């Protein structure tokens, strides 16, 4: 074998390895964190979107917030590829989308004002924690109504109002009942299981009556939660006493 041919055979793998290494180095993209550090607008847009979502903007202007987040994702992807100037431009576009969302949310809030008030009462009653799945589902329906308002379909958005009002009102009432009467119901069940209806019927009956009073208060006047709690605690006390007698 000629020396030149031998040299070619030996050097070819080395050259291929070098070319592959250089190609990989050239293809290396920035991480999301690096992209955020190099393009200031990306970091600012991300922070503003998070703040807007925390303030409930995504509930009133879901399309606008989604558009802003899409612009953010595009800016990050572009920055990761090394096109930092284009990434800056895309991020600035996101700020415009977010500002439009803020403007659109004012109309949604005006159209759905009663619903938002009802939702706030449900939140105050603890519905997001006590009935999380139903609250989340209802919020999804609210976002859909707000999306209609964003698109200018005011009448369609208003048509959703009665069902939303009923939904949030029901969540508020159920949450108040759980909060005020759940322990009483558990105590009465335990007393019944222990035979209190047979061995301490009067006390057990009084416990049930106090629970019914508490429930009735919440159904007729939700502002009297404190009084309902008094009756619910009395029901719990009586149920525990009847259980003690039965045992």
What's the whole-number average pLDDT of the chain?
87
Decide if pLDDT at 19 tops 50.
no
pLDDT tens digits, residue range 118-174? 999 999 888 888 889 999 999 999 999 999 999 999 999 999 999 999 999 999 998
Residue 109 pLDDT grade (very low, low, confident, very high; cuts 50, 70, 90): very high
Global confidence as pTM: 0.67
Decide if pLDDT at 48 tops 90.
yes
Decide if pLDDT at 23 tops 70.
no
The pLDDT of residue 159 is 95
DSSP H/E element including 37: helix 32-38
6-21 average pLDDT score: 47
The pLDDT of residue 28 is 63
Most confident of the following: 16-30, 61-75, 126-140? 61-75
Please say whether the beta carbons of 62 and 146 come within 8 A.
Answer: yes
The pLDDT of residue 17 is 46
Instruction: Give me the DSSP letters along 55-114.
Output: TTHHHH-HHHHHHHHHHHHHHHHHHHTT-HHHHHHHHHHHHHHHHHHHHHHHHHHHHTHH
Residue 226 pLDDT grade (very low, low, confident, very high; cuts 50, 70, 90): confident
Q: Which residue has the higher pLDDT, 16 or 188?
A: 188
Which residues, 6 or more positions from 240, have their beta carbon under 8 angstroms from its beta carbon? 187, 191
């Amino acid at each position: 074998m000629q020396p030149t041919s031998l040299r070619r055979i030996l050097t070819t793998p080395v050259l291929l390895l070098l070319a592959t290494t250089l190609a990989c180095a050239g293809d290396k993209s920035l991480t999301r964190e690096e992209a955020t550090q190099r393009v200031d607008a990306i970091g600012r847009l991300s922070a503003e979107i998070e703040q807007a979502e925390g303030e409930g903007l995504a509930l009133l202007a879901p399309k606008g917030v989604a558009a802003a987040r899409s612009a953010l994702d595009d800016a990050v992807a572009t920055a990761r590829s090394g096109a930092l100037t284009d990434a800056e431009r895309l991020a600035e576009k996101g700020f415009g989308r977010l500002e439009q969302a803020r403007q659109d949310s004012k109309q949604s809030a005006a159209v759905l004002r009663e619903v938002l008030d009802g939702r706030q009462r449900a939140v105050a009653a603890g519905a997001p924690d006590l009935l999380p799945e139903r609250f989340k589902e209802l919020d999804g329906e609210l976002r859909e109504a707000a999306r209609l308002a964003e698109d200018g379909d005011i009448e369609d958005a208003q048509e959703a109002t009665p069902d939303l009002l009923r939904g949030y009102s029901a969540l508020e009432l159920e949450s108040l009942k759980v909060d005020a009467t759940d322990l009483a119901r558990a105590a009465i069940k335990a007393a019944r299981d222990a035979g209190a209806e047979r061995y301490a019927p009067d006390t057990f009956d009084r416990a049930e009556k106090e629970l019914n009073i508490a429930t009735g208060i919440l159904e007729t006047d939700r502002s009297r939660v404190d009084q309902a709690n008094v009756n619910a605690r009395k029901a719990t006390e009586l149920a525990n006493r009847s259980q003690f007698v039965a045992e």
